Amino acid sequence: MGSFADYLENKLLDHVHNQTTFTSPTNLYFALSTTTINDDGTGMTEPSGGAYARANMAANTTNFPAASGGAISNAVAITFPTATASWGTVTYFAVMDAASGGNMLGYAALAASKTIDSGDTPSFAIGDYDCTLD
């Protein structure tokens, strides 16, 4: 993943340093964007229509086994609904804490932009989502 979002960075820093509690989300929602996403969550333009919805993944050890070496990745495919119309060319993805709206937890540019046409079912294969802390 490219970067944690400002929201999550602040929550984690407060959790570690200020003794405040951060409750991790029960589900993670993967969003696609046709525009460049900024660290503060602005700039994201999700497709609209054509059956677009964020991909919902339970945040658990089945889908995301325990981190090792400062990294974690997906153990099952992250699959979006099948497009019923063009979603445009997606260039970024984001991890959110809600099915719509909500807080952005992190984001990254796709390795290659992808035009999503009617009949396409976008997905991230097992291990394609990598999140590391350096």
Would you place residue 80 in the very low, low, confident or very high pLDDT band (cuts 50, 70, 90)?
very high
Contact 27/56 with Cβ under 8 angstroms? yes
* The one-letter amino acid at 95: V
Report CA 64 to chain centroid distance, whole Å: 13
Evaluate if residue 108 carries a pLDDT over 90. Answer: yes
What are the start-end ranges of the E strands in the chain?
Answer: 3-4, 27-33, 55-58, 71-73, 78-79, 88-96, 104-116, 123-124, 130-132
Evaluate if residue 1 carries a pLDDT over 70. Answer: no
Contact 9/17 with Cβ under 8 angstroms? no
Evaluate if residue 54 carries a pLDDT over 90. Answer: yes
Evaluate if residue 87 carries a pLDDT over 70. Answer: yes
Q: From CA 40, how far away is CA 36, in angstroms rounded?
A: 12
- Report the pLDDT value the prediction gives residue 134, as an integer from 0 to 100: 73
What are the start-end ranges of the E strands in 13-96?
Answer: 27-33, 55-58, 71-73, 78-79, 88-96
How much is the average pLDDT of 100-122?
Answer: 97
Per the structure block, which two tokens stand in for 23?
């409750």
Give pLDDT tens digits for 27-37: 999 999 999 99
Average pLDDT over all residues of the chain: 95
* DSSP H or E run through 38: none
Evaluate if residue 19 carries a pLDDT over 70. Answer: yes
